[in-house]
Amino acid sequence: MTFIRPRLRKPMGYALAGAALAVAWAVRGGPSWFLSIVIEVGVLAIAITTYLRGGQDSDEGALAGSRADERQKLLGLRSWALAGNLAMIAAFTGLTIAVAARGRRLVAVPGNSRRRGLWLPARLVDLRPRGRGPGR
Amino acid sequence: MLDISSDVKVLDITRNRVREQRTQREMSQAELAAALGVSRQTVISVESGRYLPSLPLAFAIARFSDLTVDKMFDPDEEAGT
């Protein structure tokens, strides 16, 4: 990607991703359509902050500005690995609490996953139709 | 099985001659970083032994000082021969 200045790469990525999410929210419609504006404003703020951080003479600045050297890339990888581990722990903790709090009955996810032992709490995977539909 | 552990000298590579060579040449950390194509923070980390550079970077550092890699990163060895 030589056609985009390194410092602009991450902010532009964030801005484009946020714009896509905001458009998707607006297309979804409904009474909360205005949240798409909130999303867009928030993402623009993040993009501007990332651009400003990209100019700093620090490891974080180098990563934000896409000009990291080998040590800084290693630091970035380690921080992603730590974030992944924390996310896994949080997901497992959340699932455990959800099972304890709600799901006395467990339902197997149909198909191959059943054999693999992937179980989900029945209330988290509510397969019953919600509300009163048009009927059949 | 061949046991070479007794013949291999384990280097204390947290100590090196990077700072010594840089100050001899009256260069700042920023100037050395620019010459090596890395950040100033990385030069600081290498000098203080907190970061062990990759082999290409180690060669670049050694080449800058006209030393070999083992002399640059083995402070117990005689420099310059």
Tokens of B1: 């099985």
- Side-chain half-sphere CA neighbours of A116 within 13 A: 7
* CA A4, A10, A13, A14 torsion-angle sign: negative
CB contact under 8 A, A71 and B51: yes
**How close, in Å, is residue A86 to chain B by CA atoms?**
25
pLDDT digit string (tens) for chain B, length 81 residues: 666 666 666 656 678 999 999 999 999 999 999 999 999 999 999 999 999 999 999 999 999 989 999 889 876 765 544
Q: What is the CA radius of gyration of chain A?
A: 22
Torsion angles phi and psi, residue B72, rounded to 5: -70, -40
* CA B22, B27, B31, B34 torsion-angle sign: negative
Q: What are the DSSP E strand ranges found in A6-134?
A: 106-108, 119-121
The dihedral over CA atoms of A86, A87, A92, A97, expressed in degrees to the nearest 10, equals 100
8 Å CB contact between B29 and B22? yes
* Residue in A55, A71, A74 with CA at minimum distance from that of residue A8: A55
State how far the Cα of A58 lies from the Cα of B45, in Å rounded to an integer: 13
Q: If you average pLDDT over each of A87-91, A99-103, A108-112, B75-79, which comes out highest?
A: A87-91
pLDDT of B67-80, one tens digit each? Answer: 999 889 876 765 54
**H/E stretch holding A92:** helix A70-101
Query: pTM here?
Result: 0.69
The residue count for chain A: 136
- The reported pLDDT for the residue numbered A121 is 45
Tokens of A92: 């497992």
8 Å CB contact between A98 and A122? no
Question: Is B44 in the A-facing interface, judged by CB distances under 8 Å?
Answer: no
Q: Searching chain A, which residue's CA lies closest to the CA of residue B55?
A: A70
Tokens of A75: 């630091």
pLDDT of A3-16, one tens digit each? Answer: 789 999 999 999 99
CB contact under 8 A, A69 and B39: yes
- The reported pLDDT for the residue numbered A136 is 45
Residues in A touching B38 (Cβ below 8 Å): 69-71
8 Å CB contact between A72 and B39? yes
- The reported pLDDT for the residue numbered A119 is 47
CB contact under 8 A, A71 and B41: yes
The domains of chain A are located at 1-68, 81-128
Question: Is A56 in the B-facing interface, judged by CB distances under 8 Å?
Answer: no
